[in-house]
Structure 1
Amino acid sequence: MQAYKILSITNKTLNVNIGIQFRRLLQTSTINMAKVGDPFPNVDLFEDLPTNKVNISQLSKGKKIIVFAVPGAFTPGCSKTHLPGYVAKADELKKQGVSEIICISVNDPFVMAAWAKDQGTTGKVRLLADPSATLAKALDLTVDIAPLGGIRSKRYSMVVEDGKISSLQVEPDGTGLSCSLADKLKL
């Protein structure tokens, strides 16, 4: 009986200590989410095939580009509203000095190529795959959406000028359709 009581006290003490350490960790951790002025991460994404690498940091050197992310290709909000808005406004945005418009999703390059074909994006919006959420993690813009397979990118839009983020709009809930739409973009 005495051994059980000692073990019980030890477990309780251990749980309290772990709880205190966890709270300290939460209180001292900083949010590293991307912000205006940050350099765009030096990450390779993929266009059409796993062998076609595209590095947005390098692509934006000396240019102004738009980058927006969606939680998933072929999903309703992404296919009916978000991507079509940028496709429709592509010519207007390019007349305002935008060199490229890039849509990113945590999908494989084959899915993104099929989605680009389905949405008729050729010459207007490039669709790039972030298959392991490498970019989403580097920007600290991930969201866990179990029905879509787990870790995805939050929905956002940004302007990248010469490798630096000059404008950033992140949906407050990570997935909604308000501030990241083409007509809300801040050039």
Structure 2
Amino acid sequence: MTIKVGDRLPEATFMTMTADGPAPVSTSDVFAGKTVALFSVPGAFTPTCSAKHLPGFVENAADIKGKGVDTIACMSVNDVFVMGAWGADQKAGEDVMMLADGNAEFAKAVGLEFDGSGFGMGVRAQRFSMLVKDGVVSELNVEAPGEFKVSSADHILGQLDSVSA
């Protein structure tokens, strides 16, 4: 079953790259007591993800955080080393937390996985974004296959504007 607005995120563990190497981080660590803009991409270093999706959040990080978001997090079904390298390549720095969901456990738990085996990618997470307040989904934006519209930083900014209006 796909997660929906009003649902609490399931407990899961991501991996993130730190100065000391890979480290686990739980959904509680990321979301408890915070407002988080989470976005998911099908794969690090893939065309739309690298040219538009992650760069949009990096470029708009100050504006997004200025509207009450504590953390911006990028998730993908890639290993922690790939996510760390991609974050460095894209200059995500401290602006965007890079979360590796290497076994698609979180993607499956929220019902937003897809089978990319036909493209040689295995199980991946769909392209989506969500606003999460203290672990509860307040906005959910799932892209149609092949689309990049509702999961963008601009779309999240618009949702944040309508919440504060």
Instruction: Please give the TM-score of this superposition, normalised by the length of structure 1.
Output: 0.79
Q: Secondary structure at the match of 2:55?
A: helix
Paired residue for 1:172?
144
Paired residue for 2:61?
90
Q: Pairwise CA RMSD of aligned residues?
A: 1.4
Paired residue for 1:64?
35
Matches within 5 A, 1:37-48: 37-48=6-17
Amino acid at match of 1:153: A
Paired residue for 1:152?
124
Give the number of equivalent residue pairs.
155
**Greater share of helix residues, 1 or 2?**
1
Paired residue for 2:163?
none
- Whether contact under 8 Å (2:22, 2:80) holds in the other structure is no
Paired residue for 2:80?
109
Instruction: Please give the TM-score of this superposition, normalised by the length of structure 2.
Output: 0.89
**Greater share of strand residues, 1 or 2?**
2
Q: Looking at both structures, which has the greater relative contact order when contacts are Cα pairs under 8 Å and sequence separation is at least 6?
A: 2
Whole-Å separation in 1 of the counterparts to 2:86 and 2:151: 20
CA drift at 1:144 = 1.2
- The structure with the largest alpha-carbon Rg is 1
Pair 1:148–1:184, CA change in 2 (3 A): farther
- Whether contact under 8 Å (1:36, 1:166) holds in the other structure is yes
160-169 vs 58-67, which moves further: 58-67
Whole-Å separation in 1 of the counterparts to 2:123 and 2:31: 26
Unaligned 5+ residue runs, structure 1? 1-31
**Residue identity (%):** 43
CA drift at 1:41 = 1.3
- Whether contact under 8 Å (1:106, 1:130) holds in the other structure is yes
Unaligned 5+ residue runs, structure 2? 161-165
